[in-house]
Amino acid sequence: MEGTRTHRRFTVRMRPLVVVLLAACLCATDSSRSSAEQPASARPFPASAWAAIAHGKLAEAETQARGRGGADPDAAAVLGHLAIRKGQYDEAVKLLDPAAAQAPLGAAALELGLLHQRLGRTEVGSRLLTAIFRQGSSASDAAVLARAARAAQALNLPQEANSLFRAASSAAPGDPAIDTAWGLLFLEKFNEAEALRSFQQVLKIDPQWAPAHAGLAGVLAEENPPAAALAAIRALEIDPSLDTAELLLAQLDLDNTRYAAARERIERVLKANPQHLDARALRAAIAYVKDDRAAWDAEVRKVLAIHSGFGEVYRAAADLAARNYRFEEAVALARQAIALDPTAARSHGELAMHLLRTGDEVEARRALERSFSTDRFNRVTF
């Protein structure tokens, strides 16, 4: 990796046009296999299985994991991850629980902690993730450091996560899994320039790493939607079941009122994972703006049955309502989102924008302050 990567840090700034143009050029480049790429089968397990997943070869990853036997915690982590992608959450917990107990700093513990957190089981999720973060932070092994970084990110400790990703990348230069995860941290915290560098580096080493293509799409989505779509489509060519790429394309369709196209993409995600919360939230949002209240109510009930505190179902509807100039409704929906999840900086920030459009500057400022206090990297607060 470049030497300057040792100085990478978070900044809050608007994206320079050169970054967008550079990324657009990357989308247009030939994605033929790099001579530096190492085939998944040439890596030792479990890296070979995780690489197979990143290459869209989920069946190959499953075969590798099952061949290791039931006592291997790394194999359980891979199988648990694959179960999560199918929405088989109870089965995933059964696979991951004993493996996490056997290897508290291992991949199974991380997968289990993230799953519990995703489903609103905050206490048990935080306990697992905190142990991985605290105990893994002093490790020298790159994989352990990367897991500690991902745990820190999930615990809303971005500076600590950044330092740990830096250490992991130094310990394993050119590791596509580490650099993709690092890029996603930067993207989450609105540092698109550094996110772009991470995804570029990954795709130079391994052009078939689908999550990096999806990450690149996320970098481009706001300022260059056509280039973002190309990157997301490339990700889906490699891994047709990659939810992040499919939902990004669905969001781009919604931004342009192509509701039928968006719904088709959402249904693809739900076919693979009927319990996918973000996909269900978008489906609910479409029902809301279409004034199909029966479908809206039914979808909200389904979402909250999976995760009773998933405010995103209301935030997504608020966003789509605002795009249809229904600002008063957007305010009410955003408040419902916050009532379910008061820690969601994005919901507070978007509520502020909706309030400004209704002329309530005093409440908008309060919402912005709450958003900033929750996440000082949230660009909407500046």
HSE at residue 217, side-chain half, CA atoms within 13 A, is: 26
Is 49 in contact with 64 (CB distance < 8 Å)? yes
Quick: pLDDT tens for 211-236: 999 999 999 999 999 999 999 999 99
| 2 found inside a domain | no
CA torsion 114-120-121-127 (nearest 10°) is 50
pLDDT score for 42: 76
CB 18: neighbour CB atoms within 10 A? 9
State the pTM of this model.
0.90
| 306 found inside a domain | yes
Is 259 in contact with 286 (CB distance < 8 Å)? yes
Is residue 382's pLDDT more than 90? no
Per-residue pLDDT averaged across 311-336, rounded? 98
The verdict on 88 and 114 lying in the same domain is: yes
Q: What amino acid is encoded at 185 in this protein?
A: L
The CATH number of residue 280's host domain is: 1.25.40.10
End-to-end CA distance of the chain: 32
Quick: pLDDT tens for 36-54: 455 665 789 999 999 999 9
Residue that terminates a domain, selected from 128, 157, 186: 157
The structural domain count of the chain equals 3
Residue that terminates a domain, selected from 131, 157, 183: 157
pLDDT score for 32: 42
The verdict on 303 and 259 lying in the same domain is: no
pLDDT band at 6 (very low <50, low <70, confident <90, very high): low
Quick: pLDDT tens for 237-280: 999 999 999 999 999 999 999 999 999 999 999 999 999 999 99
Query: Domain residues for 57?
Result: 47-157
Enter the tokens of residue 145: 């450091």
| 1 found inside a domain | no
Quick: pLDDT tens for 60-106: 999 999 999 879 999 999 999 999 999 999 999 999 999 999 999 99
Q: What amino acid is encoded at 63 in this protein?
A: T
| 330 found inside a domain | yes
Which has the closest alpha carbon to 167: 191, 189, 196, 146?
146
The verdict on 230 and 292 lying in the same domain is: no
| 8 found inside a domain | no
The verdict on 250 and 321 lying in the same domain is: no
Which has the closest alpha carbon to 50: 164, 165, 178, 170?
178
The verdict on 186 and 264 lying in the same domain is: yes
Sole residue written with tokens 């920030």:
349
Quick: pLDDT tens for 136-171: 999 999 999 999 999 999 999 999 999 999 999 999
